Amino acid sequence: LAFNLVNGIDVEETEERIQKFALENRDSIAANLARAQREERMFNYRLEQEKADKEVQRQMYLQQLEKEELARTSEKSSIINQLATSNQAARDILAQRAITLKRSSMRRQQEESSSHSFRSHDSALQDHSWMDQAHDDDFMDVDGEEFSPLDDQYGPVDGFTLRTDYYDPISNSLQNVQVLISGGYSATFAHERALEAAFTGLTIAPLTGLSPNPEAAEPQ
């Protein structure tokens, strides 16, 4: 179709085919467009969130550097003052200050770890809330009725009888893999899905010129 339009071949007929395709696939096109818009919103939001997180981390790093510099200056002044006014030996004073500094550093690291965990949890909650809102915006009524994703929109697939003696070396050999068994793998389930796909024609391309909606197909 694109080749015909670009090269001016059967333009009117090609445009009619495109229009017919658009009408037949109107719902699918609308759903794809809505999904693309939602994904774009989520992508842009995450970009903004990453920029905000990086700025927060940069500010925290600068504040940490400033705190460490102030702490070093204060510690130095405190040691000099203690050495000048205390009767203790300098070695004992320095050893005591080293222990105090180590405890203070460990306590600060624990506080920073707790703060980081809280920020990560809060950020995750914000992401989840925004994503829920993004999905809420995409809810649509189907034929004027409230749509439920739990309703089965397709009829049962029948016309075949599931057996237990299929010749399938690959699927059957996987039955002995403990990791797959623990994850719920079953060769019977794989066989059932393969039969359902075959009987519903999932791997068969639609015939050219036929409407995807049987009710809308023109009588032959």
Instruction: Convert the pLDDT of each residue in 12-29 to its tens digit.
Output: 887 887 777 777 777 777
Same domain, 9 and 50: yes
Q: Report yes or no on 13 lying in a domain.
A: yes
* Residue partners of 220: CB distance under 8 A and separation at least 6: none
Same domain, 12 and 117: yes
Helices 90-136, 26-85: inter-axial angle, 10-degree rounding:
170
Q: Report yes or no on 148 lying in a domain.
A: no
Q: Report yes or no on 7 lying in a domain.
A: yes
199-209 burial: b if 16+ Cβ within 10 Å, else e: eeeeeeeeeee
So what's the pLDDT on residue 217?
Answer: 45
CB 172 within 8 A of CB 187: yes
Q: Which pTM does this prediction carry? A: 0.34
Statement: residue 37 has pLDDT above 70: yes
As a whole number, mean pLDDT of residues 107-115 equals: 68
Same domain, 87 and 56: yes
87-126 burial: b if 16+ Cβ within 10 Å, else e: eeeeeeeeeeeeeeeeeeeeeeeeeeeeeeeeeeeeeeee
Q: How many C-beta atoms surround the C-beta of residue 174 within 10 A?
A: 16
* Residue partners of 64: CB distance under 8 A and separation at least 6: none
- Structural domain count, the chain: 2
Same domain, 75 and 132: yes
Last-in-domain residue among 136, 170, 187: 136
Q: Report yes or no on 211 lying in a domain.
A: no
Structural domain range at position 85: 2-136
Statement: residue 128 has pLDDT above 60: no
Same domain, 131 and 161: no
Q: Report yes or no on 27 lying in a domain.
A: yes
